[in-house]
Amino acid sequence: MNDDTANDEAVNPEPAGADDLAWRAFRYAAGEMTADEARALEDQMATDPAACEAVVRAVQLGSELAAARPDAEVPATVTPRSLHDARYEPSHTPVAWLSIAAAVCVAFVGGIYWARRGNVAQEPIAQVPPNTATGPTTIDADAWLKLRSLEPAGSDVELAWDGCASEELPDLDVGRGPAVPTWLVDMAGATKQKGNP
């Protein structure tokens, strides 16, 4: 440890260059900078891509370290507690009562929702209004889904619209990296519609 300390002191005096930038970025991301220093680094980021990249790396390192903290994960095993600790006394915890009330509300709303869904599912398919458009519409899709739900699992019946979905989706290749979010697909779709009136 003493060797380390001696080493630290020797290395400490004002370093320069990329290392200095990385260290300033780390202190910036760690919230360990004065306002003036932070402002100066942000000003530098406006014109210096290396400063931006240093901040990216610093936030990444901090995030990795924060994610690695020992209390960041759920314990794999449940350790037995004493009877006293394990005794549940809801009357002593108002939060517990609130939680129970919230659970009852959620169950009630969920019950209504599922009851309505059940009614919809029992409607005969013949009640679906006839389609007047040439392509698959929302109503078509509903009817199609209902037909599909009536099919036995593994049925090899081919429906006429099976190929439509893939044609209408944007052709985005799936590769490495994060999945493309729906908002980006929506934005691209909206711009596409503007381009093709």
Partner 1 sequence: MEAEERGINTARQSATDDDRNRNLAALYREHSEGLRLLLLGILRNPAAADEALQQVFLKLLESWDTVQLATVKGWLYTVAYHEALAYRRRSRIDGRALDRLWSQPAWQTNATNTNPAGRLLRIQQRDAVRRAVEELPEAQRDVVQRRMYRDQTFAQIAAEIGCSLNTVLSRMRLAAEKLNRMLEDSQ
d(CA 29, CA 62): 8
- Say if CB 97 and CB 115 are below 8 A apart: no
If binding is defined by CB under 8 A, does position 21 make contact with partner 1?
no
* Contact residue for partner 1 among 16, 17, 68, 89 (CB under 8 A): 68
* Contact residue for partner 1 among 16, 46, 126, 160 (CB under 8 A): 46
d(CA 84, CA 188): 59
| End-to-end C-alpha distance for the chain, whole angstroms | 71
Type and span of the H or E element at 106: helix 94-122
d(CA 25, CA 54): 6
Q: Which stretch binds partner 1 (CB under 8 A): 22-30, 82-90, 114-122, 147-155?
A: 22-30
If binding is defined by CB under 8 A, does position 33 make contact with partner 1?
yes
CB of 131 to partner 1, least distance (A): 25
d(CA 39, CA 35): 6
Q: Which stretch binds partner 1 (CB under 8 A): 3-11, 103-111, 128-136, 158-166?
A: 3-11
Q: Tell me which residues touch partner 1 (CB under 8 A).
A: 1, 4-5, 7-9, 11-12, 19, 22-23, 25-26, 28-33, 35, 38, 42, 45-46, 49, 52-53, 55-72, 170-173, 175-181, 183-184, 187-188, 191-192, 195-196
